Amino acid sequence: MKRVLLLENTALPMLALPRAAKRLLALLVDAGLCVLTVWLAFYLRLGEWIGLSGAPAWAVLAALCMALPIFIVSGLYRAIFRYSGWPALLAVARAIMIYGLLFSALFTAIGVPGVPRTIGLIQPMLLLFAVGATRALTRYWLGGMYQNQLKLAALPKVLIYGAGTVGWQLATAMSNSHEMRVIGFLDDDVRLHGNLLNGYPVYSPDDLEGLAESLGVSTVLLAIPSANRKRRNEILQLMLHAKVSVRTLPSLMDLAHGRVSTTDLRELDIEDLLGREPVSPNHILLGKNVRGKVVLVTGAGGSIGSELCRQIVKLEPSTLLLVEQSEFALYALHQELLTKLGDMGIQTLRLMPLLASVRDAERMREIMATWKPYTVYHAAAYKHVPMVEHNPAEGIKNNVLGTLTAARAAQEAAVAHFVLISTDKAVRPTNIMGASKRLAELVLQALAQESATRGGTCFSMVRFGNVLGSSGSVVPKFRQQIKDGGPITLTHPDVMRYFMTIPEAAELVIQAGAMARGGDVFVLDMGEPVKIIDLAHRMIELSGLTLRDAENPEGDIEIAVTGLRPGEKLFEELLIGDNPQATSHPRIMKANEDFLVWVTLEEKLRSLQLALDLNDVATVRAMLQQLVPGYQPSGDIVDWVHLEQEAEMAS
């Protein structure tokens, strides 16, 4: 290792020399080789070392006067030694052959007093080996190093924002990176500006736009894991005009178990910029219905269900039942959680991956009767608005009847708590998905009233808006469209949505469920709604690209407006009424929603099921309007089966 470093340290100054100096140095080396080979030739002939004076001096002078002009004329010093290959070595051989003919003609054929005739043959052969060896050595010594320098120079140049310990560790970790090259730091501390840290200059963040142009900076790495979202937003505002992409490190908690490495770098997720600072969880509420208990999660392989499982594992239940109808999703989650348990050193927790559909009453009863879970988190649902709109019967069967089936099985198994994962689309819905989720809420509200009289299962539901990174979320969709060069597709320029990170949502669901008394409709505080077109603009800017529009036709990424999809709303709401109640948690509210008693609702559900079995979509929509106050379909029926049947009848 030390030898490698020594070679690198001596090679870099050589590579930095001007071309003329390199040629002169090569000429001097060859001159030295001429002298050395004459001396060595005399030793091989006489068997002893002699001084290069008198007659031997004439041999040295002849070698210099013949060899160097021939080498110059043959173009040996125009060649770049670090690229020397067989063609260059053949050129050396040709030049020395010419030289050898002249040198041997003088000292072997003609003869010079005091110089043995065999010197004219031995010295050219020695010179051939010596010059060829120096060229090969130079290629080995400088060639790889020069190629590395070229590759390094071609790497994207990056600045690290944060000249603290984390930034220094990141720069050290990236010193041998083959993906990007650190050329300096940015830091808010004016005392550091103009100084060197680990050999890299520290610049002011205010100079970023100029640095991006003059130094060719393409990326800024945020090495400030302790900064909150507000501070990150302030920093990112400085970067918007510099046209640089931004990558970041995880939080301090994620880095707490080891040094920083380049693998820790990730794309700047938009969840780092949206919403509020997370509130510290109430650990009593988190563990109340989970720790040491049997817990069941339906839809365990989905976005919300899988995150619920990750959070629950940390709380160490005795058994976690993973109920999922997708074999692959269940397998992937089970393997992930097994690895997590191994990393955490937890050996007592039992993970049970169970293939099942929540619509299968026998299977759900069998599972719950076997393990008798204390808490059930019901996350299984079809959530994609246009997909459910095109397949309404299946969406309602899964979201409504599946919820009823799971809830009845929970009652029979004396489950203590049953928590439904709901959505803001259930409020004054304009689509089948939202209406089905509101009807699922009504089912649980009615069952909760029924259970309250008998002291049975405590039913509750938690309603929240979009979660970032879930299946169907705009963030991964926009990111992929940006990578593909655009355009970003947007359904309407005025669409607004609430956003929350998946981990925060899952954590709040667990805490809300622990506060339930029966029939509770909890609503999570989602912060301020976000305009989706503003989100698209920000993602383009943070990728170091520009928006292409009428004002900037030479921009990189275009935004294409495609029109609202079936059932899609411009704005989402979280409350049907205007009288939410506060709870002991600052991010969890409790809504007061009207509902039907179970006797009335049960009869209507039977009629709904008959219509679903016949796929009578018109009747189904009419019944949903009766059952779900505020449901106003936003368009015509778009069920694929219904449309195909109509087309066949028309033809």
**Is 182 in a helix, a strand, or coil?**
strand
Give buried/exposed letters for 456-491 (b at 16+ CB in 10 A, else e). bbbbbbbbbbbbbbbeebbbeebbebbeeebbbebb
pLDDT at 161: 84
pLDDT at 370: 97
pTM: 0.68
Which residue spans within 566-622 are E strands per DSSP? 581-582, 588-591
Give Cα separations from 37 to 29, 42, 512 (angstroms).
Answer: 12, 9, 89
Residues of the chain with pLDDT under 50: 1-9, 11-12, 80-83, 251-264, 275
| Tokens (6 digits) for 401 | 């009847």
Give Cα separations from 550 to 97, 200, 457 (angstroms).
Answer: 70, 41, 59
| Tokens (6 digits) for 467 | 């979660």
pLDDT at 472: 57
Condensed to tens digits (0 to 9), the pLDDT of residues 149-186 reads 555 555 678 888 888 877 777 777 777 666 677 888 88
Calpha distance 203→164 (Å, rounded): 13
pLDDT at 417: 96
Q: What pairing do the DSSP bridges indicate for beta strands 557-561 and 350-355?
A: unpaired
pLDDT at 271: 58
pLDDT at 371: 97
Query: Residue 112 gets which letter from DSSP?
Result: B
Contact 67, 131 (CB under 8 A): no
Contact 475, 468 (CB under 8 A): yes
Amino acid at 613: D
Q: What pairing do the DSSP bridges indicate for beta strands 496-497 and 557-561?
A: unpaired
Cβ neighbours of residue 283 closer than 8 Å, sequence gap 6 or more: none
In 188-326, which residue ranges form alpha helices assigned H by DSSP? 208-214, 229-239, 252-255, 283-288, 303-314
